[in-house]
Structure 1
Amino acid sequence: MSRFQHFFSTWEGVAGLALLVILLLAGLLAPVISPGDPLRIAGRALLAPFSEPAFPLGTDRLGRDVLAGLLYGARTSLVVGLAAALSAMVLGVCVGMAAGFAGGVVDEALMRVVDAFQIVPAFLLALAFVSTIGVSTPVVVLAIALGSWADPARLTRAQVLAIREQDYVASAKVIGMHPVEIAVREVLPNALPPVLALSATIVAGAILTEAALSFLGLGNPNIATWGSMIAEGRSVLRSASYLSVIPGAALAVTVLGVHLFSEGLGKALAENGVRAV
C-alpha cells in the first residue's frame, strides 16, 4: 500500500485534511461570500450573531462584519503559516544537508548556530524581530521562519548522517558522482520524508505565532487577522464575548486540523518504514 493510501486509511489524516480543505475554501471564496474590504464599516455596531440576515455572525464595536473578518482572517493565517513554514523548511533542510554531508568543521560551526537559535524561544525571537524591523506581512513571515528553522535543520542532519553511510551512497561515490549530485539525487529524497512530517507542526506553530503577534498589535494592521479580532473583543468580553470566541474557535479548529493532518502523515510514513516525528 502506498503512503497516499495509508494516509487516507487513518481517521486523523482524513479529518485533518477535511478541516484544512474547509479552511482553504473559506479563504479562497472570501471575496465571493463577502465582497469588499473586510475592515470597512458595514452596519450598526455590536449586532449579535444571527440577529440580522445580512450579518450572520454579527458586527464588532465599529460595525465591521465578523463573518468577513473570519473569512479573510483564514486567508491571512494560511498565507502566513504556509509561507513561514516553507521558508523555515527550505532554510533548515539546506543547513542540515550541508552540516550532515560536509561533516567536520562545517558541521560543528553550523550546529552551533542551530544551538544558538534553539536557545531563544521562537515567539520571543519573532517578537523582537518584528518590534525592531517593523510591521508588515513579509517581516512577520521572516520572523516566524527564523524561530522555526532549527528543528528541521537538526532532523535533516540526523537523517543525512545515517543515509550517507548506506551502500548506494558509497556506490555513487565510486562511480564518480559529484558530491552535490549525490546530496541532491541520492541523499535528499530519502532524508526528506521525516522532515515533511515535521512541517505540519511548524505550520501550526506559525499560525499561532502570527495570531499572538496580531493580538499584541504587531501584525499587519491593513489586513484582517484572527489575532486582531480576538484583541478587538477584549474590551467588551462580558457584553459581546462572541467577538473573541468566534475567531478563537476558528484558530483552535485550524490548529486541530493541522495536528490531525500531521498525525495521519506520520502514521502513513511509519507504515512505509519511515520513522515519523
Structure 2
Amino acid sequence: MSTSAFHRPEARIGAALLAALGLLALLAPVLSPGDPLAISGLPLVLPFTEALHPLGTDRLGRDLMAGLIHGARISMTVGLLVALVALTAGMLVGTLAGLIGGWTEAILMRIVEAFQIVPGFLLALAFVSVTGPRLSTVVVAIALGAWTGPARLARARVLVLRESDFVAAARVLGHHPLEIALRQVLPLALPPVLSLTAIIVAGAILTEAALSFLGLGNPNAVTWGAMIAEGRNQLRSAAWLSVLPGLALLLTVVAIYLLGEAVADSLGARDRR
C-alpha cells in the first residue's frame, strides 16, 4: 500500500476506524470472553445504565456489547476471505483470458458474463439456501458474485501488457504461456485490480449482514445483520437493539470506503506518472 495515500485525512480516518475494528475482532475472546449468545442479565436493559452491560441487553438478556464485538469478528473475517477468493479467482481468469486469447478467452469471458447477469445478492441467497448457512458457504456464495469485476479488469490490463517487448521475448525463448502469465504478467496487472479490494470487502460485509438479517447466517454465531433483525420488532420501545449494530455496520463500510478511495487514487496517480 502506498504511503502517500495516508497523507489524505479521509485515509487516516478510515485507517484508524479499521484498526480499531480489527483490534476488536482480534481481541474478541479477551474483551468479551464466553458465549456472546448466553443470557447474562435482565432483558432490555437500557444502554449506559449498568456497568456490567454498558450498551444494554436484548429482549433475552444477552449483552449487546459482546454481540457487537463478536459480530465485528464475523464481518471482518467474511469481508477479507471473500476479497481473497474473489481477487485470486478473478486475477487468474482475467490473466489467462487476456494472455492466451482465442477460444480460451472467448469461453472464459462468456463465463464471466454469465455470472454478471445474475445480481450478486440473489446468487448468494440462492447458494446459501441450497448449501446451508455455514461460514465457508457464505464466503463462497458472496465471492461468486464478486470475482467478475477483478477478472474483467485483469483481462483489460493484460491485453495491454501482452503487447510488451518482455512478453514477446519470453515467447521467443519458448516459455510456457502459463509461466509467462504467472511470473511476468500477473505481478504487473495486480496493482490496478487491488484497487477493487475495498469495494469487494465492503460489499461482502453488507451482503453477509443482509443474509443474516434474512435468517440465512450462521445460527451459532453473532452477526450484526442478525442483531438488526432481532431488534426490528422492538424499534419503538427499544430502538438501540437495531441502531447500535446498524451504526457499527455503517462505520465499517464508511471506513473501508474512505481508505479504499485514497489508496485507489494514489495507485492511479502513480500509474499516470
Tell me the TM-score normalised to structure 1 length: 0.96
Residue 74 of structure 1 corresponds to 72
Residue 10 of structure 2 corresponds to 12
Distance (Å, rounded) in 1 between the aligned partners of 2:272 and 2:170: 22
Determine if the alignment matches structure 1 residue 257 to structure 2 residue 250: no
Deviates more, 1:214-223 or 1:132-141: 132-141
CA drift at 1:274: 5.7
Secondary structure (helix, strand or coil) at the match of 1:233 reads helix
CA drift at 1:4: 2.3
The one-letter code matched in structure 2 to 1:191 is A
Distance (Å, rounded) in 1 between the aligned partners of 2:29 and 2:104: 49
Residue 60 of structure 2 corresponds to 62
Distance (Å, rounded) in 2 between the aligned partners of 1:63 and 1:83: 32
2:130 corresponds, among 122, 125, 132, to 132
Residue 143 of structure 2 corresponds to 145
CA drift at 1:24: 0.3
Q: List per-residue Cα deviations over 1:57-96 (Å, max 9, x = no partner).
A: 0000000000000000000001111111111111111111
CA drift at 1:178: 2.8
Residue 234 of structure 1 corresponds to 232
Residue 175 of structure 1 corresponds to 173
Residue 53 of structure 1 corresponds to 51
Distance (Å, rounded) in 1 between the aligned partners of 2:9 and 2:84: 26
Aligned 8 A contact 1:6 1:271 in 2: no
Distance (Å, rounded) in 2 between the aligned partners of 1:183 and 1:274: 24
Distance (Å, rounded) in 2 between the aligned partners of 1:151 and 1:6: 26
Aligned 8 A contact 1:14 1:264 in 2: no
Deviates more, 1:12-21 or 1:99-108: 12-21
CA drift at 1:12: 2.6
Q: After TM superposition, where is structure 1 displaced by more than 3 Å over at least 4 residues in a row? A: none
Distance (Å, rounded) in 2 between the aligned partners of 1:184 and 1:98: 9
Deviates more, 1:104-113 or 1:174-183: 174-183
CA drift at 1:213: 0.2
Distance (Å, rounded) in 1 between the aligned partners of 2:217 and 2:255: 23
Residue 100 of structure 1 corresponds to 98
Provide the identity percentage. Answer: 60
Aligned 8 A contact 2:100 2:177 in 1: no
1:123 corresponds, among 121, 124, 132, to 121
Distance (Å, rounded) in 2 between the aligned partners of 1:160 and 1:12: 32
Deviates more, 1:12-21 or 1:110-119: 12-21
Distance 1:274 1:59, change over 3 A: farther
Tell me the TM-score normalised to structure 2 length: 0.97
Question: Structure 1: which 5+ runs fail to align?
Answer: none
Distance (Å, rounded) in 2 between the aligned partners of 1:146 and 1:183: 23
Distance (Å, rounded) in 2 between the aligned partners of 1:103 and 1:147: 24
Q: List per-residue Cα deviations over 1:135-158 (Å, max 9, x = no partner).
A: 111111110011111111111111
The one-letter code matched in structure 2 to 1:46 is L
Aligned 8 A contact 1:19 1:257 in 2: yes
Distance (Å, rounded) in 2 between the aligned partners of 1:99 and 1:249: 41
Residue 205 of structure 1 corresponds to 203
Residue 109 of structure 1 corresponds to 107
The number of equivalent residue pairs is: 273
Question: Structure 2: which 5+ runs fail to align?
Answer: none
